[in-house]
């Protein structure tokens, strides 16, 4: 089993996330890509209010629909507390010791890897898949730079300038989310009143 791990807050999930996942799955011939919804995204605590984990998981589930090979995962939610990648990796290894794990991250995440919990264990247990976008400075595997010592691949996806921050603002002001967020997730945002301004 070649298993992709695509972790995030997904507040909200958008088409850029799906494009990254399907391209990583294709490029590395992954059997499955798990969208692992963070329970408590420790790097965002105190930064801004984060939607409840159950709502974010429901959005991911609705967004993925029946896209082959992509699955919503509640591992970190069920575990509770702060979400650390190494804990998720070890849980997946316990479920299937033979699985080959591929950690999918955006290029912007790579510069902050040094802050991760037990980074050396993450490096030993996974292959890093860095998603680069045109127009941004690419992060490439090699003997120097932030991926030195990693078994790593880089893929490129189309330039999609979509941010979750902008999408939350669009939802709060009543502007359309269509074609930026998968249809099922747009419906879920409306049904649950997510991102609406108080008053």
Domain annotation covers residue 199 = no
Instruction: Note the pLDDT of residue 47.
Output: 74
Domain annotation covers residue 131 = yes
**Residue 157 and residue 22: Cα distance in Å, rounded?**
10
- Mean pLDDT (whole number) for 69-95: 97
Domain annotation covers residue 75 = yes
The CATH number for 155's domain is: 3.40.50.620
Residue 134 pLDDT level (bands cut at 50, 70, 90): confident
Indicate the number of domains in the chain: 1
Domain annotation covers residue 154 = yes
- With a CB cutoff of 8 Å and minimum separation 6, the contacts of 70 are 18, 21, 22, 25, 32, 33, 35, 64
pLDDT tens for residues 17-30?
999 999 999 999 99
Range of the domain at 58: 2-192
Instruction: Note the pLDDT of residue 111.
Output: 87
Instruction: Note the pLDDT of residue 45.
Output: 64
Domain annotation covers residue 198 = no
Instruction: Note the pLDDT of residue 161.
Output: 83
- Mean pLDDT (whole number) for 75-92: 96
């Amino acid at each position: 089993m070649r298993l992709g791990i695509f972790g995030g807050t997904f507040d909200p999930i958008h088409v850029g996330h799906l494009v990254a996942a399907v391209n990583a799955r294709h490029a590395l011939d992954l059997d499955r890509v798990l969208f692992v919804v963070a329970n408590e995204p420790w790097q965002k605590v105190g930064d801004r209010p984060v939607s409840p984990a159950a709502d974010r998981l429901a959005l991911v589930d609705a967004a993925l629909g029946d896209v082959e090979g992509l699955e919503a995962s509640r591992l970190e939610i069920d575990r509770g507390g702060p979400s650390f990648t190494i804990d998720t990796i070890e849980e997946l290894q316990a479920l299937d010791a033979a699985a080959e794990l591929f950690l999918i991250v955006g290029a912007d995440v790579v510069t902050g890897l040094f802050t991760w919990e037990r980074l050396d264990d993450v490096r030993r247990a996974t292959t890093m898949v860095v998603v680069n976008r045109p127009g941004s400075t690419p992060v490439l595997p090699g003997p120097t730079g932030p991926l030195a010592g990693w078994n790593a691949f880089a893929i490129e996806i189309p330039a999609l300038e979509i941010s979750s921050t902008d999408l939350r603002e669009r939802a709060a002001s009543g502007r359309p989310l269509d074609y930026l967020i998968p249809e099922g997730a747009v419906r879920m945002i409306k049904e649950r009143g997510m991102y609406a301004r108080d008053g």
